[in-house]
Structures are given as structure tokens and as C-alpha cells.
Amino acid sequence: MSKGKVLLSITGFNPRRWQELLSADREVVLSPEGATDPTIEYAVVWRQPANVLKNLPNLKAIFSVGAGVDHILADRTVPDVPIVRVVAENLTQYMTEYVVWRVLDHHRLGLAYRTQQKRKVWRELPQRTAADTSVGIMGLGALGRAAAAALLSLGFRVNGWSRSGGSMEGVSTFGGEAGLTPFLNATDMLVVLLPLTPATRGIVDYGLLRQLRRQNGHGATLVNAGRGRLQKDDDILRALEDGTLREASLDVFEVEPLPKTSGLWSHPRVFVTPHAAAVSDPNHLVGPMLAQMDAHDSGAPLENLVDRTAGY
Ligand code: NDP
Ligand code: OXD
């Protein structure tokens, strides 16, 4: 019996490699043949056009090309079938590298030394130890936990905030609304690895940044590699201007691509990357996706399912 077709519905980047790899095992279509195409059994999507999934009578599951699923659920017509998100070693490794890179650069005064180098200034700056620095990770899930483990191994103190407040060895964990202020008050460097959901949208605002610890009069540091709409770009600029924040590394923004008019591009204490912290590599991800489709067809449960009521 032939396998059901895969709808590959991608906007924002060229899906050619995804198509090639998926086609090795299943027929792939880039749009349904008619609004109610019965031949499509699986969808692989990134920011699919609105309504494209809504009337597929034999759709068994939707696979997100990324770890986040806000781009799928933004379309309210997405049918009530299981949604599978990416949890993969190579994506986790990329994110861990990004977090360690940015935390170490801020911690070891990379910005100040680069500025000195431009001016040919030979001056040693006072250096804090990792053990004196608390990194607080908002979102202690697959990515947050891996980043926490790497930071612990470098000697940082690590705090973690999540919905459940679930524990992790070596990490001071905090949960829910009640845990947020104590978590922030004990954090010098904030790393945001939350999903974008109705509960987290806009959470990284000026009021939240004010609650971070600012030791010895130094502003705190922000690293956001979660989602742009978790943060208020203007509040970050304000916090940088009044000393609430010392520096920021931002991989994600309220509007992407970051508009040329944004003050974040040229701010001397902001490090910008174009939503590149952890890319979804089809060479690593398509094989497991196809294997899950086959296993599901044989009756096995799907893995890495999204809890639609929570939105992640
Ligand atoms: P997980 O679902 O594994 O973890 C999410 C974490 O966030 C969990 O600890 C969860 O709490 C916590 N959380 C969710 N909602 C809330 C809330 N309302 N209050 C407090 N904590 C909350 O996700 P991943 O770690 O795999 O990925 C995290 C996000 O990273 C993705 O959703 C995506 O947006 C982003 N991402 C960005 C990339 C980039 O290149 N910039 C690449 C890949 C992902 P609990 O543990 O209690 O469930
Ligand atoms: C993801 C992303 O969610 O790339 O995986 O942002």
C-alpha cells in the first residue's frame, strides 16, 4: 500500500532541501490539490498560509519544522490533529553554543575590549568570576536545560524559571507567577528560552527588566533567543539608556526581519543576530520525521507532542 502524501507548507525560506529529503520516502506536495485534498496525511510546516490545513479530511498530524509552534497556532483554523515539534540533539547543541557564546562574551567584557582595541587602548578591566555571576534561564525545557548544564560546567550559578518550577540538579528553580520576582531578583544575566504563548507574549518588558539584580551598580544583561514577541523592543532600548541593562544579545525581535529603522541595529551595547541561534537543519530532522510518520502509520504514538491548551 502506498504511503500517504506530505504537504510541505513553508513561507519565509526556500524549502527545496526539505522537499528533496522528504520525497525520498513519500510523495510531497507544496499545496493541496483542491481545498479538501484527501490524499494528504501529514503536513510539515513553517508559518503556513492561513486556512491551508483546515479542510484536509485525512490529515493525521502536523510536524513543525522548528522547536516552536507559535507560527502554526497563529492560524486559528488549524485542525485538531496532533502537532509534533522539533526536539533534536543538533538543534539543542546549536542553541547551547549560542547561549554559552553570548553569556561568555558579556561576562568576559567582549564589548568593552573590542571598543578598547578599536582605540588601541591597553587596559585591563576588572573581571568578575563565573561563580559570582548568576545566569537566570526563563524556560527550563529541552533547550533551557541543556544551556543550564553547559553554564553550570563553566562555573556559573544558574537559576531557572518555568511554568511548573520543575527541578534540575545544581540549578535554583522557580515556578509560575509567584516565582518570577524572586527568580529575577537573583539573576544578573537573563537568558530567555521561552515559547511564545498567550501567557508569555510581551513578558520581557521594562517592569520585568527592572527586577533583575544589578550588582555593584552594573546593569544586568539580557539574552533573548526564544521569540521576539516575548519582548518589547522599545522597553529594552529604554532599559539600556537608563542603566537598567548593561548589554543585550538579541536573536529575535518583535518584527522580523528587524526593520532598518530599529534603534537596536545601531545601539553600541546590543549584539544582533538574525534569528539564527539554532537553525533547523533538514539533513538532521527529516529522517526522524519520516520515521515518526511510518511508526505512527503502524500504530505507534507520536513523540514530542504539543500541548495545544498550553500552546507549546
Ligand atoms: P520546551 O517546550 O521544551 O520548554 C519550554 C519551557 O518554557 C518549559 O520549561 C516551560 O515550563 C516554560 N514555559 C512555557 N510557558 C511558560 C509560562 N507561561 N511561564 C513560565 N514558563 C513557561 O521548549 P524548547 O526548550 O524546546 O524551546 C523553547 C523555545 O525556543 C521554542 O518555543 C522557540 O520559540 C525557541 N527557539 C528559538 C530558536 C532560535 O533560533 N532563536 C530555535 C529553537 C527554538 P514547564 O517546564 O513547566 O513546561
Ligand atoms: C524554532 C526556531 O522554533 O528556529 O526552532 O525558531
**Closest CA relative to residue 160, chosen from 133, 131, 183, 194:** 183
Q: How confident is the model at residue 216 (pLDDT cuts 50, 70, 90)?
A: confident
Confidence of residue 35 (pLDDT cuts 50, 70, 90): confident
pLDDT for res 249: 98
Pocket test for ligand 1, best of 163, 227, 279, 308 (most atoms within 8 A of CB): 163
One-character DSSP codes across 126-174: P---GGG-EEEEE--SHHHHHHHHHHHHTT-EEEEEESS---BTTEEEE
Asked if residue 131 has pLDDT above 80, the reply is yes
Average pLDDT of the chain, as a whole number: 97
Does the beta carbon of 230 sit less than 6 angstroms from any atom of ligand 1?
no
Confidence of residue 132 (pLDDT cuts 50, 70, 90): very high
Given this model, what pLDDT does residue 9 score?
A: 98
The rounded Å distance from CA 131 to ligand 2 centre is 31
Assigned C-alpha cell, 220:
544586568
**Amino acid type, 305:** L
Q: Identify whether 227 is a catalytic site residue.
A: yes
- pLDDT-based confidence at residue 217 (cuts at 50, 70, 90): confident
- Mutation pick for ligand 2 pocket among 96, 230, 280 (CB with most ligand atoms within 8 Å): 280
pLDDT, one tens digit per residue, over 2-14 is 899 999 999 999 9
Nearest ligand 2 atom, CA 91: 5
CB of 67 sitting under 6 A from ligand 2: yes
pLDDT at 65 over 90: yes
Cα 70-73-74 angle, rounded to 5 deg: 80
DSSP the chain: -PPPEEEEEE-SS--HHHHHHHHTTS-EESS-SSTT-TTEEEEEEESPPTTTTTT-TT--EEEESSS--HHHHTSTT--SS-EE----HHHHHHHHHHHHHHHHHHHTTHHHHHHHHHTT---PPP---GGG-EEEEE--SHHHHHHHHHHHHTT-EEEEEESS---BTTEEEEEHHHHHHHHHHT-SEEEE-----TTTTT-BSHHHHHTS--GGG--EEEEE-S-GGGB-HHHHHHHHHTTSEEEEEES--SSSSPPTT-TTTT-TTEEE--S-SS---HHHHHHHHHHHHHHHHTTPPPSSB--TTTT-
Probe target for ligand 1 pocket from 83, 84, 162, with the most ligand atoms within 8 Å of CB: 162
Closest by alpha carbon to 143, among 90, 212, 180?
90
Structure confidence at residue 234 (pLDDT): 98
Q: What is the pLDDT of residue 146?
A: 98
- Determine if the peptide bond prior to 257 is cis (ω within 30°): yes
Residue 251 CB less than 6 A away from ligand 1: yes
State whether the beta carbon of 92 lies less than 6 angstroms from ligand 2: no
The predicted model gives 83-100 an average pLDDT of 98
pTM: 0.98
> Which ligand does the CA of 305 lie closest to?
1
